[in-house]
Amino acid sequence: MELMISMTLVLILLGVVSQLLGRAVSVRSRESRKSDALASAQAALNVLSREIGNSGFGISTSSDPNEHNNGIIIADSNDHKIRVRSNIENVGTQLNPDVLRTNRAGEDITYFYDNASASIVRYDPNDTPTTSVVVNKISNVTFSYFDYSGSTSTVTQSATPSANTGRVRITVSVVLDPIYGQPNPADVTFTSDVTLRNAKYMLNQY
C-alpha cells in the first residue's frame, strides 16, 4: 500500500514537472520565433527606408530648386506597392531632359508584397536579376502616404501618394506560427516613417 501511494505521488509530481517543462519550451519557442520575425522585419525596413528616403534625388522639374520631384511614381504606387525613382548618378543637368533618366541599377525601384510567397519583393528593371526577395515569411506590408501643403504645413494621410507626398509610413507585420500552450495567433508589427528628403515641401524647410 505504501509503495502504491509513493508511486502515485511520484507520477503526480512527474505530471506537474512535465507540464512546467512543456510550458517553458513553448515560451522559449515563441520568443525565439518572435526574435527571428523582429530581426527579419527590421532588416526589411532598413532596406526599404534607405531607398525610399532617397527617392527623387537628382530629379528636377524646372530650374527652380524648389520644384523637385519627390520621385514617387503615383500611377504605380498604392497601399501595398511603391515605385520610386532617383537620379543617383546625377546624369544630365537641371535643364537637360537627361536629368529624368533613371535607367541605371538602383534608380528605378518597385517594392511590393507578394501574397503567394508571403514576401516583400524588390523589382529593378535595370539590375540583374531584376527581381529579388527582400524578406520572406511576412504576413503583410502596407504603405501610408502623408501629403504636406500650404504655409501652415497641413498634413493629410492617404493610401495613395500624390505630388505633395513628403513622408511615407511603412508597416511590416508577421503572424507567427501557432505554438501549443500559447495564445494564438500571435503577430509582430514594425513601423517606420521615412521622410522624403527631396520632396518639394521638405526642401523648403531647410
The model's confidence at residue 59, banded by pLDDT at 50, 70 and 90, is: confident
More confident residue, 29 or 6: 6
In the predicted model, is pLDDT for residue 64 greater than 80?
A: no
Residue 18, beta-bridge partner list: none
What are 103-159's pLDDT values in tens digits? 888 889 999 998 888 889 999 999 989 999 888 778 888 999 999 876 556 788 899
CB atoms inside a 10 Å sphere around CB 152: 6
In this predicted structure, what is the pLDDT of residue 96? 56
The model's confidence at residue 41, banded by pLDDT at 50, 70 and 90, is: confident
Whole-angstrom distance, CA of residue 43 vs CA of residue 135: 8
More confident residue, 186 or 49: 49
In the predicted model, is pLDDT for residue 26 greater than 90?
A: no
In this predicted structure, what is the pLDDT of residue 91? 67
In the predicted model, is pLDDT for residue 98 greater than 60?
A: no
More confident residue, 202 or 129: 129
Whole-angstrom distance, CA of residue 190 vs CA of residue 2: 59
Average pLDDT score, the chain: 79
Whole-angstrom distance, CA of residue 152 vs CA of residue 150: 5
